[in-house]
A = this chain, B = another copy of it.
Amino acid sequence: MLNLMVEYSENQLDAVFQALADATRRGMLAHLGEGAHTVSSLAEPYDMSLAAASKHIKKLEAAGLVEREVVGRVHHCRLSPNALKYASDWLRDYERFWNARLDVLEGLLKAEDDTDRNKGG
Q: Which residue of B lies closest to A32 (CB)?
A: B98
How many copies altogether? Answer: 2
User: Measured between alpha carbons, how far is A18 from B105 in the docked complex, in Å?
Assistant: 28
In the complex, A84 has a CB within 8 A of chain B: yes
Chain A residues touching B, majority SS: helix
Query: Which A27-45 residues sit within 8 Å CB-CB of chain B?
Result: 29-30, 33-35
In the complex, A97 has a CB within 8 A of chain B: yes
User: Measured between alpha carbons, how far is A100 from B7 in the docked complex, in Å?
Assistant: 27
Q: Which residues of A contact B (CB under 8 A)?
A: 1-2, 10, 13-14, 17-18, 20-23, 26, 29-30, 33-35, 79, 81, 84-85, 87-88, 91-92, 94-95, 97-99, 101-102, 105
